[in-house]
Amino acid sequence: MYTHYDLMLPLLKLMHADDITYSLKEAYTRLIHELNCSEKEINETMEDGRNVIFYRLQWTKTYLKKAGLIEYPERAHFKLSDLGRSLNLNELNQIDRKYLSKFDSFNQFRKNNSKLDKDQKQNFYQEVDVIPDELTPPEIITEQAKLLENDLKIELLNLIKNNSPQFFEKLVVDLLVAMGYGGSHKDAAQAIGKTNDGGIDGIISEDRLGLDKIYIQAKRWDNTIGRPDIQQFKGALADQVAKKGVFITTSNFSREAIESAKKSGIVLIDGDKLTSLMIEFGLGVQIERSFHIYKIDQDRFDEDTF
């Protein structure tokens, strides 16, 4: 069966021949025809019923996008990028991870993933106090679920950063309302992004009765938030005689910024925490697959209870 790497070169050759914008379904239909797939290959499914080739084609598309060889001109569609169009595919026998590592954007993607994977695995192995080969099946499932979540968080951040500041402001509103703040969504939407008052991007009710207010700073940044940014937010809070503030960013906070915020009771939400909350409250994500892990009900086999 074809892997997602096996599909890369045929897909690019197909796109070179047509040079049009494809939907995933259109690319799948053309690809299985070009590959002359057998009925068995076309009909093979995963345990949850999804088509294997179609599923792996999605990962093919993702990896080629990370390498900068294709781009997304509109939702659910993709086409060759200028870089992808410039490739001489006749010189290639296959496209694999080694080949994709020639492209800086793919290396950055792998670097981000590798760092998260390494940290995640290290933390997990410390928690269970075993080496990887000694993990039980449930522990392996837990580990892999965490790694999948890390990939999802990276993708969420990329999507947020590729959208406008106004989109980010609305996202902040949606998240805070999903978490139970802001009263009605209408009230929250009126508060965020409206004040522009010396470092305060919005004010939102802490509860539905509006008994207390939370002051918001929202920054869709790539650079690390430093102590001066926190100090500015502190000053703005002091001017408003405000007791509670939340600083939300797509990037991260320096150690000095974190220390400064602690002294003033300011809650910091960095990119990692932001995406964790989005997953927790189901904002911008959906369940792809769920399953149950069963264990023996010992009471059912206790003769004294029957």
Please give the backbone phi and psi of residue 296, each rounded to the nearest 5 degrees, phi first. Answer: -65, 135
pLDDT at 121: 47
pLDDT at 184: 60
pLDDT along the chain (306 residues), means of 10: 91 93 94 94 84 90 92 87 94 91 84 53 44 59 80 86 84 86 62 56 74 85 91 88 89 94 91 95 88 77 66
pLDDT at 73: 87
Distance CA 159, CA 223 (A): 17
Distance CA 278, CA 172 (A): 10
Q: Check: CB of residue 218 under 8 Å from CB of residue 188.
A: no
* Count of Cβ atoms closer than 10 Å to residue 287 Cβ: 6
pLDDT at 169: 81
